[in-house]
Structure 1
């Protein structure tokens, strides 16, 4: 009875039981962050089910807490913002430099990779390695031929389809093959299947499902020993397979290191010396994260772009006209042509605005000390989230936000923004790759890949509606926010052979 009484006492506070427990214990008279109470003990864990970004945006409006809202996930205190100014305050603060503890992430070795490594010397070393060796302009430029090769394979494969087909299958295989080539130096033909790519695809899919689940044990510690969702068990089954797969490739590279002329990510990491040198276990974790994070996002974003092109043939025609003016129809698109395309890049930005792959910026931050956010006291250990989906659809931030209008990124007229608008994190009105210390390190590479492949697919084909399946923009949120129903289309070749 005493436990129940205390549970209801904690639950009475704005933000729910986790916040009530904290404020009750310290007896503070601080200004309380508004937010839903949810349920006793459990808090608002229901808000994180299914389309969490939409539910959290609706709750923020309901509680008049778009700037900052508090809620509880079991015993975890959470704040979330739907405001770009407050988002910048959180993401660019050194206080929010850590990741919250997530059992599946640690179980999948990500505590040794860039995404979840604790803030400190080791994490700063990984970031420096990524910026200097893996995602620097020179390294991105050196892999241009790989993107061109896989883009050509996609074109050949798509040209074989005479009727309706699902584009997702091709995009996911292309993205996986690209990462295999980039990270491991493995080149595979898109139209053929082999055991290694099939094995890796299965490992990645299992990892996505585990990391995308709301794990009750992360927020209700008294449930942890039961492993009710079997997440710990499944991680323990998956990690040995990942270790075997990655370590086998590392050993092959070690044996061939002196004779190799082309450097992939494995070669780069193995060649590091001095303070930057990593153990084999750390190399395996970093490489696994690269494959894991780099495969899904590119395919998801391109599918959203093609869906919008099918739904808006007038906008697709404008892209075609621009590509014909820059490239013509007598030769394929080159990656160097992309810098001359204004409207194509505006289309990519507009799709990132309406369909950010990580609507909650994928992985949250955690306060490493007590701090203040937007005038509210936020204690150490609080999880902070940014609802980028809500920001990019806010009429106070964007004019006519639901309308698909790439022109908003072409000129400053009629309330639009200029063509130099960057999506790389400095402007929090649209920062799909995050911002600050924990921004996605591979954002430049991902954006280069998406822009070139989309340009290639639109230069080669006109994308039209399927005869049998309508374009459905419904969402499903896993680790990334993807189309609930895969895009089915037809294509008409448009370039001269």
Structure 2
């Protein structure tokens, strides 16, 4: 039987909150499902024609220590090599694993900016060249660095310093072999690369066994870790407010130390200029005056130079030496080439490198197999609506290029998982950004400005190390397992044996 009519309103009042609560919970369940499981994620729910994984799958992939491989597998499984869409929280992403769409992204004026992560902003990099928004300030920084730091004349002028640091590394390897019978190369290469930057940019050599050097080393490592973290505060407003991962707190502590360290060097240069004039990159910035570059901007610019020029060189050389240990025939061919063009009576120099074609091919093949920035390190940001291929990409979308996936695509490269430097002797492939089959330094407006200097350094140091030693595996062997942080590192660093070659 139905209840009396006068009871109906009271029952409705009792039922209404429950119905509202049920609807609210249902809505939350739907949003959670869309957030985690909808193809492309919640940020792409209205543009689902672009193939893509769920937010959960994308988050798992990007959190992996081999994110480049995980994303490549997702793109392949979804037949989305040309373009794949996904979300992280409320952030919209696309990723290309194909040269054609990669070229569209990297060379498009629509993707002229970089997304500024919280760590990058807190570490001042939004005022440096890497993350500064496209515009007059960025163009001015690019012009200054191209003219005064990365131009051919400056690269050539730094040749003697590079050679001296290479000779220091050779001696360090000899000493460590004498003491331990083996050598962990990452530490030797890292300190060499860091001193190369300090000499080139600051005109100052650092002793890493003493206070200042130890402090700088700690700051660099902390900075790399902070920039490499997948920080959920960049994608979820609640996390941004709470700073659950502590990225903001750690970044602010680090930037205080950076201000003191770099500020001290700037003051030293100001004092020195009164006596000796100017000579290095710090002096160039000081010469521009505060109306063009403020002191705080100068700290950001100089601090970024340390990051952009240190670990990329060290990590690449470690991968190359690992390959030399694993492929003694290739190592022997490179040493025979050095002996033929340089001989054993003098130390190899920059002037010899153009004649060492096989050595250059080894570097290229290592960049193909083990690109230091497999996801091209720092992504791009769509500053307005744009089309990539047939797909509409709205403003605010973060675009990535999986260069590792491209350089390991068997439809582009024959035997992509085989280490074959000879492939570059037969076919010329530019690695400077014009050929997107292999662009380890990026392409377009945001191509790495120091690519020529980085290559000059790697070529020379590799030639010096191969001229001086024969490289053998240690008892632990060589493990090519990868670990993607800010750069693609060896998970277990190379420990090997170096035997001095007879003169």
Tell me the TM-score range normalised by the shorter chain: over 0.9
Contact 2:38 2:55 in 1 (8 A): no
1:259 matched to which residue of 2?
A: 275
Match of 1:268 in 2: 284
Cα distance in structure 2, aligned partners of 1:10 and 1:471: 42
CA apart distance, 1:4: 3.4
- What RMSD in Å do the two structures reach over aligned CA positions? 1.6
What residue in structure 2 maps to residue 286 of structure 1? 301
Q: Distance in 2 between matches of 1:260 and 1:136?
A: 24
Matched, 1:48 2:55: no
Task: Output one character per residue of 1:157-197: Cα deviation in whole Å (capped at 9) or x when no partner.
Answer: 212213112111111111111111112111246xx622111
- Given the alignment, which residue of 456, 475, 498 partners 1:448? 456
> After superposition, what is the alpha-carbon deviation per residue over 1:365-419, rounded to whole angstroms, capped at 9, x for unaligned?
01000110011011000000000000000001101100100000001xxxxx22x
Give me the whole-angstrom Cα distance separating, in 2, the residues matched to 1:78 and 1:208: 23
Q: 1:321, 1:11 → 2: CA distance?
A: 56
TM, length-normalised to structure 2 = 0.91
Among 27, 30, 34, the alignment partner of 1:5 is: 30
Residue 437 of structure 1 pairs with residue 445 of structure 2: yes
Query: In 2, Cα distance between the equivalents of 1:296 and 1:408?
Result: 27
Provide the residue aligned with 1:425 in structure 2.
433
Of 152, 165, 168 in structure 1, the residue corresponding to residue 183 of structure 2 is 165
Distance 1:10 1:240 in 2: 37
Q: Tell me the distance in 2 between the aligned counterparts of 1:196 and 1:422.
A: 40
| Displacement after TM superposition at 1:259 (Å) | 3.1
After superposition, residues 319-358 of structure 1 pair within 5 angstroms as: 319-358=334-373
Matched, 1:38 2:55: yes
1:58/1:112 CA distance change after superposition, 3 Å: same
**1:183, 1:266 within 8 Å by CA — same for their partners in 2?**
yes
8 Å contact kept, 2:403–2:440: yes
CA contact (8 A) 1:394 1:401 kept: yes
For 1:339 and 1:97, how far apart are their aligned partners in 2? 34
Given that 1:85 and 1:428 are in contact with CA atoms closer than 8 Å, whether structure 2 keeps it comes out as: yes
In structure 2, C-alpha distance between the alignment counterparts of 1:449 and 1:271, rounded to whole Å: 27
Q: 1:207 to 1:12 in 2, by over 3 A?
A: closer
Equivalent runs, 1:20-419 vs 2, <5 Å: 20=45, 23=46, 32-39=49-56, 44-49=58-63, 50-160=65-175, 161-162=177-178, 163-188=181-206, 193-260=209-276, 263-272=279-288, 277-411=292-426, 417-418=427-428
Report if the CA contact (8 A) 1:13-1:37 is conserved. Answer: yes
Q: Extract unaligned runs of 5+ from structure 1.
A: 24-29, 412-416
Deviation at 1:10, TM superposition (A): 6.4
Q: Distance in 2 between matches of 1:51 and 1:151?
A: 31
Q: Distance in 2 between matches of 1:10 and 1:208?
A: 30
- Provide the C-alpha distance between the structure 2 equivalents of 1:341 and 1:407, rounded to a whole number of angstroms: 13
Q: 1:434-482 CA distances to partner (integer Å, 9 max, x unpaired)?
A: 111111111111111011000110011111111x111000001110001
What TM-score do the two structures reach when normalised by structure 1?
Answer: 0.93
> Which residue is 1:19 aligned to?
44
- Post-superposition shift, 1:260? 3.1
Aligned residues: 474
Aligned partner of 1:490 among 488, 497, 500 = 497
Alpha-carbon distance in 2 for matches of 1:473, 1:194:
33
User: 2:481 is matched with which residue?
Assistant: 474
Q: Which moved more, 1:158-167 or 1:313-322?
A: 158-167
3-state SS in 1 of match to 2:310 = helix
- Is the 8 Å Cα contact of residues 51 and 85 (structure 2) preserved in structure 1? yes
Counterparts of 1:182 and 1:261 in 2: how far apart (Å)?
A: 17
Work out the CA distance in 2 between the residues paired with 1:301 and 1:6: 44
User: In the aligned structure 1, how far is the partner of 2:48 from the partner of 2:219?
Assistant: 47
Structure 2 gaps of 5+ residues are 1-24
Give 1:51 shift.
Answer: 1.2
Contact 1:14 1:33 in 2 (8 A): no
The SS at the match of 1:406 is coil
Greater Rg over alpha carbons, structure: 2
